[in-house]
Amino acid sequence: MSGVAVSPARRQNSTGRRLTLRTVIAVLIAVPFIVPFLFLIATATREHGDYLDSPGGWPRSFTLDHIVDAWQQADLGRALVNTLLMCLVACLVCASTSLAGGYFFRINQARWTGPARMLLGAGYAIPMVAWLIPVFVIVAQAGWTGNIYVAGVVNGVSSLPFGFFFVHTFLKQSLTDEVIEAATLDGAGVFRAFWNIGIPMALPAISAVLALTFVWSFGDLLVAATLLQSNTDAYTLPLAATTLTTREDVNLQGQAAAALVSLLPTLVVFAVAQKALKQGFGGGSEK
């Protein structure tokens, strides 16, 4: 047995012991996650003088000034709305096409689908810099720069290979042949089956894809900076946050404040989607 302290305690029959030990370990593991988070909050809420005095030290002050300043200077309110809209588009694009694609690969087992699935999944392995620049040229020529909906579509497509692959993996486990056959028994076409069975059965996986696409699109800077260019009205939160850094001043406190503002919506979405995420990855075979 490996030298983990769990083992000997586990041998004992007392459930109370086991409970405490695992919980203790979980708490210990949680410490390196909570500390940087607290550090972020501290950096964002310390008075500037206090921060300068000991950037890595204990906070001795508290102020909401940085958050307020960041909100006003970088127009974070508008940026937040832009980001939510953009993420909505990204999620719709990614979820709908992933759903359809994942379902297709579930029902079609022809030999060519295996390699096709690998190839389409390999789209995830293309560095963003490589595909974004030509895409940007097309967008620029069409006069569509500064458009958050276009940015949303591009963000959606960037998660697409992961999305459909994941839905397919899920459906492989949870959607049995019998159920599909039952749906098509009375001669109902593929789309009817998709609507009646495919979508409901894939809902947990789709919730997962939605949540992850949301989180990834929310935090994206590259697509936003490239496609939104100089249209400051359309800036998303990460891009708006970069305006707080000037040539002369990195402004870590401002950045931390903006990061806190970004954190809240994503945390909310994540909390809501946590349950669905669990079901999504789990294959839902128990339900």
Contacts with another protein in 55-84 (CB under 8 A)?
55-57
Nearest Cα to Cα of residue 108 among 51, 164, 64, 154: 164
Indicate the burial class of 258 (C-beta count within 10 angstroms; 0-12, 13-18, 19 or more): buried
- The DSSP result for 1-16, as a single string, is ----THHHHHHS--HH
For residue 188, give every residue at least 6 positions away whose Cβ sits within 8 Å of its Cβ, in sequence order, or none.
196
Q: Is 3 in the site for another protein (CB under 8 A)?
A: no
Q: Which amino acid is at 75?
A: D
Q: How far is the CB of 203 from another protein (least distance, A)?
A: 14
Nearer to another protein, 49 or 200 (CB): 49
- Minimum gap (Å) between residue 85 Cβ and another protein: 19
Which part of the chain contacts another protein (CB under 8 A), choosing from 61-69, 76-84, 166-174? 166-174
Residues 23-62 that bind another protein (CB under 8 A): 23, 25-27, 29-30, 32-34, 36-37, 39-40, 43, 49, 52-53, 55-57
160 belongs to the binding site for another protein (CB under 8 A): yes
Alpha carbon distance 260, 251 (integer Å) = 14
- Provide, rounded to whole angstroms, the least separation between the CB of residue 157 and another protein: 5
The piece of 59-67, 75-83, 84-92, 136-144 that touches another protein (CB under 8 A) is 136-144
Tell which one of 97, 147, 149, 199 touches another protein (CB under 8 A).
97
Give, as ranges, the residues between 116 and 135 that touch another protein (CB under 8 A): 120, 122-135
**Could you tell me the two tokens for 176?**
């049995």
Pair of tokens at residue 92: 């719709």
109 forms part of the interface with another protein (CB under 8 A): yes
The interface region with another protein, picked from 59-67, 82-90, 214-222 by CB under 8 A, is 214-222
Interacting residues of 61 by C-beta distance below 8 A, sequence separation 6+:
46, 47, 49, 50
Q: Which residues contact 198 (CB under 8 A, 6 or more apart)?
A: 99, 103, 106, 171, 175
**Straight-line distance from the first to the last Cα atom of the chain, in angstroms, rounded to the nearest whole number:** 35
Count of residues engaged in binding another protein, rule: CB under 8 A = 135
Rounded least distance, CB 10 to another protein, Å: 5
DSSP three-state, residue 127 = coil
Find the binding residues for another protein in span 251-280 (CB under 8 A). 251-252, 255-256, 258-259, 262-263, 266-267, 270-271, 274, 277-280
